Amino acid sequence: MKPHATAILFTCIGFTAITGSASLAGPFDEPHLNIMPRTADEAGRIFKVTTPTATFSKAVRFETSSAGAATVQVRHSADAFSQPTRNIRFEDKLNFNVGKGFFRKLWVSSPSSTLASDGLGSVYNARSCHRCHIKNGREHPPEDNDTNSLSMLLRVSIPATEEDRFAEIEGYIASLPDPTYGSQLQDFAVQGHRAEYKLNVRYSEETIELSSGETASLRHPKYHAGTLGYGPLHRDAMLSPRVAPQMIGLGLLEAIPAADILALADPQDHNGDGISGRANTV
């Protein structure tokens, strides 16, 4: 199966504030964004401002406001990562807040009175987006013997065949979901159902000797899909542990026009800067 959608960046619905970016026609169009087209003048100015510096002897101009007028200032509270861009219009804050409402909304098992909030399960990782992306910050792996592993999970896939490749993208490594468990293991289930698994993490400490006699201890995690609820995984199953990433900055990422990303991809490193990027089209 080939993916067809062409949104170029992962986006979290309704939660990111948009400041405007270039408009593109065709497959890389971004219809969900409220895009303010850039004039050639603006594009030129932005290019000038964002060109990396060659000298490191002093602070770069605009360094303290790396997102321009959208830069959010530091705040010392648990809501530090939950702010809209600074130059969001007052009227647009309602959209931001409604999006935040969806993000924090709890889902419940069906049938229930709330027709718009039920349908949770039968298996799930969390009842809301916010339960993994707590306060929009980066999450953490469970400690030894934690009773649950909210905010960390195992992705699962099996190797794909040649015809599953995404031919348009050179070097694309295709995989398929596990035939029983899908692409993500879920450690909760609504009443009466079995959860898919329990994430077990065991850590082993390794002592490393440093050059001047000190030692440091490094921790090796070992992840295991335990207590599988629906039989064994596929024999070629590959596991990939993931923590919930931070949400902060997604609005800024979204404001980067797809055209800029494609223009800078440089898969063959023709410019010789040692970076050969490939745009991941999802």
**CA gap 171, 87 in Å, rounded:** 40
Give Cα separations from 66 to 49, 146, 163, 214 (angstroms): 10, 39, 43, 39
Using CB atoms within 10 A of its CB, is residue 168 exposed (0-12), middle (13-18) or buried (19+)? exposed
Site for another protein in 44-83 (CB under 8 A): 45, 49, 61-62, 64-65, 68-69, 71, 73-79
Half-sphere exposure of residue 204: CA atoms within 13 angstroms, side-chain side: 3
Check residue 190 for interaction with another protein (CB under 8 A).
yes
| Half-sphere exposure at residue 22, Cβ-oriented, CA atoms within 13 angstroms | 18
Q: CB–CB of 250/11 below 8 Å?
A: yes
Does position 200 interact with another protein (CB under 8 A)? The reply is no
Between 30 and 96, name the residue whose CB sits nearer to another protein. Answer: 96
Q: Tell which positions 118-177 bind another protein, by CB under 8 A.
A: 118-119, 122, 126-128, 131, 134, 147-148, 150
For another protein, the closer of residues 93 and 224 by Cβ is 93
C-alpha to C-alpha distance for 179 and 237, rounded to whole angstroms: 10
Per-residue x/- track, 85-104, another protein (CB under 8 A): -x---x--xx-xxx-xxx-x
Only one of the segments 162-170, 187-195, 199-207, 253-261 lies at the binding site for another protein (rule: CB under 8 A); that segment is 187-195
Spatial distance between the Cα atoms of 107 and 104, rounded to a whole number of angstroms: 10
Q: Smallest distance, Å, CB 70 to another protein?
A: 9
Which residue number, 98 or 264, has a Cβ lying nearer to another protein?
98
Three-state SS string over 128-175 comes to CHHHHCHHHCCCCCCCCCCCCCCCEEEEEEEECCHHHCCCCCCCCCCE
Least distance in angstroms from the C-beta of 170 to another protein: 37
Q: Which one of 2, 32, 140, 194 is in contact with another protein (CB under 8 A)? A: 194
188 binds another protein, rule: CB under 8 A: yes
Query: Quick count: other Cβ atoms within 10 Å of Cβ 230?
Result: 12
Quick one: 46 or 261, whose CB is closer to another protein? Answer: 46
Residues in touch with another protein (CB under 8 A): 45, 49, 61-62, 64-65, 68-69, 71, 73-79, 86, 90, 93-94, 96-98, 100-102, 104-119, 122, 126-128, 131, 134, 147-148, 150, 187-195, 198, 227, 229
